[in-house]
Structure formats: C-alpha cells, structure tokens
Amino acid sequence: MIELKNISFKKDNKTILNNINLKLDDEKFYCITGPNGSGKSTLAKIIMGIEKPTEGKIYLNGVDITDKSIVERANMGIGFAFQQPVRFKGITVFDLLKFATNKNITRKDACEYLSKVGLCALEYVDREINNSLSGGELKRIEIATIIARDPSVAIFDEPEAGIDLWSFQNLNSVFKELETNYKGVILVISHQERILDIADEIILLENGQITETGTSKDMLDRILCDSKCCKKVMK
Amino acid sequence: MNKVDEELLTEVLGSDYEHADAINIRKNGESIKRSVSPYIDIVSKKDKSGIDIIVKDNVKFGIVHIPVIITESGLTDVVYNDFYIGKNSNVIILAGCGIHNDLHKDSEHDGIHRFFLSENSKVKYVEKHYGEGKGDGKRVLNPTTEIYMKPGSSMTMDSVQIKGVDDTIRITKAELAENTTLVVNEKILTNNAQSAKTEFNIELNGENASTHVTSRSVATDDSYQEFKSNVTGNTKCYAHVECDAIIKDNGRVKAIPEIYAGYVDANLIHEAAIGKIAGEQLLKLMSLGLSEKDAEAAIIEGFLK
C-alpha cells in the first residue's frame, strides 16, 4: 500500500502538483489519466523518488519514504517503467533482467520474463539494448524488467506511448494478465481507453489536482464523452 | 616460468594459453616456449628480432598463441612478427602483451605485426594489452598492425586494453582487395594520467571490399585518448567507422575522422559520439536498485564488454 499526503510540487515558480492525496491499495490496478501537462508523469516520478515533492509526505506500507533516495525506494519495493526506455550500448537484455532481479538468473529465467511480454525470448535475450531495437520492443523489455523485479508497487509511465497498434495489443494483454495475478499495487499513467478499461480505479488529474476518482465503469464513458464534447466545441 | 609470468599470460590469453596448434611465448625479448604443428610453422627471423608464422593452405580452424610478457623494468622490446595465411585457411590468433613493472624505469613493448592473407583465407585476431606492478616506471605498449588482404579474404581484429598501460600509440594499416572484409573492434579504458592514441589507415582498393571499425573507449581521471581514422574508398566499396567514448572526471577524448571517397560508388560512413554517462541510464539502473557507483560501473563494463 502506498499513500500520498498533501503532495505538492513546484518548479520554476509554477505549480505542477497541488495538494495531492491518494491511497493506493495492494492487489488493485490504478490508472492516472488526464490532459497533457496535468502532472501525471511528475506524480509517478515523485513516487519513485526521481523528483522530490516541495511539500507533503509519501508512505509505503506505513513507512515514511519522503526523504528516501531512488535506490532506497527501489530496494524497498517500488518499480518504475520509464515512458521512454533508456538505451545502453553493450548492456544486453539478459544483463538488464539480471540487474532487475538482483539474482544470478539463468537464461531460461530471462526467457520466461520476456515471454510474458510477448517477445520471442531466444531472439532477444542476448540483444544489446541499443538502437537496433524498436520502440515497441524497448517498451516490452522495460515492462519485463518490472515483472522480473516483482515490486510491491509497480508504476508504468505511459506504456502505450510511441508504440504501434500491433505492439499495443500485446501490451494490453500483458496488463490484463497483471491485473488478474499481481499481488501489489499497479499504477499506470495512461490515456488509452483499453488500458483505462482494465483499471479497478481511475484517477483523473487536471491542472495538478485530482478532480475525480472512480471505477472505470463509472468514469470511462464520462471521460470519453467529455473529450468528444470538447472536440465538438473545438469544431 | 614463475608465478608472475603465469599470471600475466593468464591475463592476456586466459588460463588456456598453452592449448593451441602453434605457440610462441616471448619473455623479456626472448622466446621461452615454442611449439608448432605440421600445418602451422613458426620460424625465427634472421635479420631482426621476431618470428614468421606460416599457416599452410586449407588449414581449418587452426589456433595460434603468440603472447609477450615483460617483467624486466627498463627494457624496451621491439619485435617484428609476420603472419602468412595460406589460401582457404581459417585461423584464430591470440596475441597481446602483459607488462609487470615494480620499479622506476619504463618498460616498453613495440610489436610490429604484419598479416598477409591469401585468397579466401579467414583470420580472427585477438590482441589484449595489460599492465601491472607497483613501480612508478611507465608501462608502454606501441602496437603496429599491417594487414594485406587478397581477394575473398576476411579478418576480424579485436583489441582490448583495459588496465594498467600508461602510454599507447596504436597504428593499424590495411589494404583490401576485392570481396574482402575487415572488422575491427577496439576497446580501451584509460585512467590516472594514461594516454592512448589509436590511428587507423584503411584503403579499400578492390570492388566490394568492406570494413567496419568500432572503437569504444572510456577515459577517466586525468587520462587522454585520441582516435584518428582515415578510410579511403577507391572503388565500389563500403566502410563504417564508429567511435564511441565515455568521459569521466577530467578525462579527455579527441576523435579525428577522415573519410575519402575516390570513386562514385564508394559508400563511407563515420560516426563519433563523446560524452559522459547519460543521466537517464544511471536513473534506470538506480531504479532497479543499483547504487549510483554500481550503476556507473555496470554501464562502463557493458560498454567495454
């Protein structure tokens, strides 16, 4: 369980997040959605420790982690899949999965993690994480590192960003599988209807504030309707 | 051989350094062990210090080890080794030099290696340079490699210099005939006040000749590296030169690319990138639980792997 109390974040005299209060329970799949620039990614980075809040506290299973570093939070059980996965010259997919598990995993173990994200494992396990991999492949490898790490809080920052439709369909089935079997907190930043549809709860963030929370059943139609109404107004 | 010798050889060639079809181990300027096979011969030069390594035609998967070790402080060892690779032969050659210098005088090894590849021969050449010792005498290694490739031949050259070499000037020259391929992979790490300069001069003279040169280097502390490549395409050919360097602390790297297309169908590419470790790379590994120091070490180790 992770809890955010009165979290605010300001940068260059601009308020990015304003008094966020959130409690995320284990075995639940949460989606944060909202317009571009509403502070979604910043919120995810604040939970991972990549950004530090200007005000407020963060608790992981009741322990105050506000001043903990990114490494400490990682070792306490928070995992973060980057919106734009990083490329490494020389480091292979196997190396990265080994770092993620912090164990002497076998190639067979690595292949199992890759298979879970729909990659033909033997084809990828020894590949370098460099420009030879497509955006969709990198995204799936990024997600595989989180699955391999098995954190108690798994954060995915716009997993659908920059990938093609075919890759997205695979990704969607990965999240459905996680929703069914994962024991910790899953927090996904997403705009995608099909990912929002999987969520147990949707959190709508606008202008740095939570404006609404609810089940996907309650919220999805309204969010989509609002965006369509918006389009009508724009016309 | 004593324990230091064995450790140096293991660093340079691995623990299997005596398992080869032909071996010549050189220590402090003299050959201390030699073995040959019916199809790979090693002969001492008569006019200067060095050996001729002669691989007969049609030799399949021959293995040659020719390491050099230097344990005498103040010694400058210059050696001329020529490799004659027969037609259709396929060999792996492991070379390199380990210097142990515990005293204050400089120790230096200058190895001039020439490769003559006959038609359709194939060579994998691995060269590792290593230095150790507590003395303040420098450990200097200046290898020169000349490669002459006949039609249909191919060669891969992997050179590694990761530890303990204070000064290096590495020169590689190659002339490629038609339908030949030369692949060069170079990895260098320098620290303290070390200096490493590498220079490639490659001439693509035959139609469909191709070369891929990849240099990955890391310069830390106050060390300096220079990468200079000069590729000339005189016919329909392909060349790709890639220089990637990571700099840390006060490390400095200079890359000097030169490509010359002397023919309209010559396709030559040079890429160079120098910079410190990207912040996102560190963040990613730290988000997997590695400390900043461990993340940095993992990135460098992977880069030079």
Q: What is the pLDDT of residues B63-118, one digit of tens each?
A: 999 999 999 888 899 999 999 999 999 999 999 898 988 888 888 889 999 999 99
Chain A residue numbers touching B280 (CB-CB < 8 A)? 82, 84, 86
Is residue B156 very low, low, confident or very high in pLDDT (cuts 50, 70, 90)?
Answer: very high
Burial class (CB in 10 A: 0-12, 13-18, 19+), A215: exposed
How wide is the angle at C-alpha B267 spanned by C-alphas B262 and B271, nearest 5°?
110
How many interchain CB pairs under 8 A, A with B?
63
Query: Widest CA span of chain A, in angstroms?
Result: 58
- Tens of pLDDT, residue by residue over B246-305, are 999 999 999 998 999 999 999 999 999 999 999 999 999 999 999 999 999 999 999 998
Q: Do A50 and B280 touch (CB under 8 A)?
A: no
3-state secondary structure of B22: strand
Q: Are A11 and A41 in contact (CB under 8 A)?
A: no
Which residue in the set B280, B288, B298 is minimally distant from A149, CB to CB?
A: B288
Output the CA torsion sign for A145, A147, A152, A156. positive
Whether residue A99 and residue B285 make contact (CB cut-off 8 A), yes or no, is yes
The Cα of A206 is separated from the nearest Cα of chain B by a number of Å equal to 27
A38: closest CA among A69, A6, A14? A14
What angle do helix axes A135-149 and A107-116 make, rounded to 10 degrees?
120
Shortest distance between the Cα of A189 and any Cα of chain B, in A, equals 17
Is the CB of A82 less than 8 angstroms away from the CB of B284?
Answer: yes
Q: What is the pLDDT of residues B135-152, one digit of tens each?
A: 888 899 999 999 999 999
Residue numbers in B near A80 (CB within 8 A):
287
Which candidate from B278, B280, B298 shows the least CB-CB separation from A99? B298
**Tokens read off for B86:** 């027969």
- HEC letters along B86-152: CCCCEEEEEEEEEEECCCCCCEEEEEEEEEEECCCCEEEEEEEEEEECCCCCCEEECCEEEEEECCC
Tens-place pLDDT, residues A13-49: 999 999 999 999 999 999 999 999 999 999 999 999 9
In the prediction, which pLDDT does B101 show? 85
Q: Where are the domains of chain B?
A: 1-139, 166-305
Of A70, A85, A91, the CB nearest to B286: A70
What pLDDT shows up at residue A160? 86
Amino acid A85: pLDDT: 94
Please state the rounded mean pLDDT for residues B51-66.
Answer: 97
Q: Is B288 within 8 Å of A100 when comparing Cβ atoms?
A: yes
Domain of residue A160, residue span: 2-234
Cβ of B305 within 8 Å of Cβ of A102? The answer is: no
pLDDT of residue B57: 98
Residue B82 pairs in a beta bridge with: B52, B114
Instruction: Determine whether the interchain pair A99/B302 forms a contact, defined as Cβ–Cβ distance below 8 Å.
Output: no
Alpha carbon A10 to its chain's center: 22
Q: What is the pLDDT of residues A76-135, one digit of tens each?
A: 999 999 999 999 999 999 999 999 999 999 999 999 999 888 888 888 999 999 989 988
ipTM of the assembly? 0.92
What is the per-residue pLDDT for B163? 84
Q: Is the pLDDT of residue A174 over 90?
A: no
Give the Cα separation of A89 and B300 in Å (integer).
Answer: 9
How far A70 CA sits from the closest chain B CA (Å)?
A: 6
CATH number at residue A70: 3.40.50.300
Helical axes A93-101 vs A107-116, angle rounded to 10° = 90
Q: What's the confidence (pLDDT) of residue B283?
A: 96
Whether residue A131 lies within 8 A of chain B, CB to CB, comes out as no
**From CA A30, how far away is CA A203, in angstroms rounded?**
7
Return the bridge partners of A4, or none.
A22, A58
The C-alpha atoms of residue B288 and residue A148 are separated, in whole angstroms, by: 10
Number of domains in chain A: 1
